[in-house]
């Protein structure tokens, strides 16, 4: 039976990896299409804006607005694709904006030589794409992290818990003393969470530590929970290196307690004691969207609201259709007039 479950697990992981690759290339293709569409459109409006007609001044203003807004819109395309494909993934594996940009860059590097441009322009456009891909990709990834977070699971964490027979303030002073804090990689900052004290490792290196010190039910002891993880750029890594580090770290903490005069007594707690700290650590890797807990219905309303605002701009600036722009704007205002009071009343009742 375990053999069948192992095959099922491996096959599932393989399918999820294939899905991630498909999402990545699909995101690159959609991003490329968006860039080409906007580039072709900008070429057409440039021709119109340089023509001599009675509305030339107004058209120049509209053209400037379009040349500003459309590149900004393009910048957010990989971020939106990253969010959508990450949410669609079964294990919520992050589809990075940077990788989407790299797929688009590869396409353009093959496409540019076929355009008939001279070598100087080819080099210039190629350099622009490379700079935009990597520097823009870094910025887009950071925004994606803020919105969707970094995939993290309890299985990616190593942890242990001790019952220590000493006062909490004494243990804090001990761990943060000049003699020990560098050895156990702790920063001097002390945080408070639900009456518990939180110590964290310095933010350098790939191994990170969070220590929680909570008062026990009896006055003679405290609970010391420790959670560790290995941070990659796009995810948390569960590795043998992390397991070895966790074992060494626990030995170091226990050695510090034993070395005191008189010796500080302790015993190992069941691993379930670390659950609250695990939740706290994992919560920190959640993005804004996950913390808001938006439902699919909420996503649909949000997307439709944004699309309506875009429609107002398109009708007014691109098609010069003030009537439809006004109708759409009135509908948005009516929606807000009916929806917001209901939401505010519901929130007040909660």
Cis peptide before 146 (omega within 30 of 0): no
Averaged pLDDT for residues 31-59: 67
312 or 259: which carries more pLDDT confidence? 259
pTM above 0.75, yes or no: no
Confidence check: pLDDT of 244 > 90: yes
Of 164, 178, 256, 244, whose CA–CA distance to 212 is shortest? 164
Q: Are 98 and 135 in contact (CB under 8 A)?
A: no
Burial of 105 (0-12, 13-18, 19+ CB in 10 A): buried
Whole-angstrom distance, CA of residue 60 vs CA of residue 312: 20
| Crossing angle between the packed helical segments 97-111 and 56-88, to the nearest 10 degrees | 120
What's the chain's Rg over C-alpha atoms? 28
Q: Please, which pLDDT band fits residue 337 given cuts at 50, 70 and 90?
A: low
Averaged pLDDT for residues 9-13: 47
Output the pLDDT for position 8: 40
Residues 121-160 as b/e (b if ≥16 CB within 10 A, e otherwise) read: eeeeeeeebeebbeebbeebbebbbebbbbbbeeebbbbb
Whole-angstrom distance, CA of residue 350 vs CA of residue 343: 11
The residues facing 164 across adjacent strands are 222, 266
Whole-angstrom distance, CA of residue 27 vs CA of residue 97: 9
Averaged pLDDT for residues 127-131: 87
235 or 226: which carries more pLDDT confidence? 226
Indicate the pairing of strand 266-268 with strand 236-237: unpaired
Tens digit of each residue's pLDDT (9 = 90 or more) over 62-110: 666 667 777 888 888 898 888 888 877 656 578 889 999 999 988 888 8
Q: Please, which pLDDT band fits residue 228 given cuts at 50, 70 and 90?
A: very high
Residues 6+ apart with CB under 8 A from 264: 164, 165, 166, 171, 257, 258
Q: Please, which pLDDT band fits residue 247 given cuts at 50, 70 and 90?
A: very high
Output the pLDDT for position 223: 92
Output the pLDDT for position 66: 66
Confidence check: pLDDT of 131 > 50: yes
- Give phi and psi for 193, each to the nearest 5: -145, 115
303 or 251: which carries more pLDDT confidence? 251
Indicate the pairing of strand 196-201 with strand 266-268: unpaired
Q: Are 103 and 26 in contact (CB under 8 A)?
A: no
Whole-angstrom distance, CA of residue 112 vs CA of residue 322: 39
Residues 6+ apart with CB under 8 A from 126: 108, 109, 112
> What's the token pair of residue 131?
């700079």
> What's the token pair of residue 17?
């990896």
Q: Please, which pLDDT band fits residue 250 given cuts at 50, 70 and 90?
A: very high
> 180 to each of 116, 158, 169, how far by Cα in Å?
66, 21, 15
Q: Please, which pLDDT band fits residue 316 given cuts at 50, 70 and 90?
A: low
Average pLDDT, the chain: 78
């Amino acid at each position: 039976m375990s053999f069948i479950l192992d095959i099922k697990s491996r096959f599932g992981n393989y399918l999820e990896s294939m899905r991630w690759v498909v999402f990545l290339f699909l995101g690159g293709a959609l991003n490329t299409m968006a860039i080409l569409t906007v580039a072709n459109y900008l070429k057409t409006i440039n021709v119109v804006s340089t023509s001599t007609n009675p509305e030339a001044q107004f058209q120049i203003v509209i053209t400037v607005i379009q040349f500003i807004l459309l590149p900004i819109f393009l910048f957010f395309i990989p971020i939106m694709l990253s969010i959508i494909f990450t949410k669609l993934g079964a294990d919520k594996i992050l589809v990075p904006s940077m990788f989407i940009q790299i797929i688009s860059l590869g396409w353009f590097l093959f496409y540019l030589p076929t355009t008939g441009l001279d070598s100087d322009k080819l080099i210039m456009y190629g350099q622009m794409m490379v700079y935009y891909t990597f520097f823009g990709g870094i910025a887009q990834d950071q925004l994606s992290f803020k919105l969707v977070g970094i995939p993290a699971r309890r299985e990616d964490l190593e942890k242990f818990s001790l019952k220590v027979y000493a006062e909490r303030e004494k243990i804090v002073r001990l761990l943060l003393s000049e003699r020990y804090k560098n050895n156990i990689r702790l920063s001097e900052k002390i945080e408070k969470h639900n009456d518990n004290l939180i110590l964290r490792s310095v933010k350098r290196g790939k191994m990170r530590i969070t220590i929680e010190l909570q008062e026990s039910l009896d006055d003679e002891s405290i609970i010391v929970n420790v959670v560790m993880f290995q941070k990659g750029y796009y995810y948390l890594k569960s590795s043998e290196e992390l397991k070895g580090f966790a074992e060494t770290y626990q030995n170091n903490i226990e050695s510090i307690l034993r070395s005191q005069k008189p010796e500080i007594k302790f015993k190992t707690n069941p691993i379930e004691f670390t659950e609250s700290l695990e939740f706290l650590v994992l919560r920190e890797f959640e993005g804004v969207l996950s913390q808001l807990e938006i439902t699919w219905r909420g996503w649909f309303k949000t997307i439709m609201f944004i699309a309506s605002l875009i429609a107002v701009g398109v009708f007014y600036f691109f098609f010069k259709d003030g009537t439809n722009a006004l109708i759409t704007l009135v509908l948005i205002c009516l929606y807000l007039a009916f929806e917001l009071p209901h939401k505010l009343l519901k929130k007040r009742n909660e």
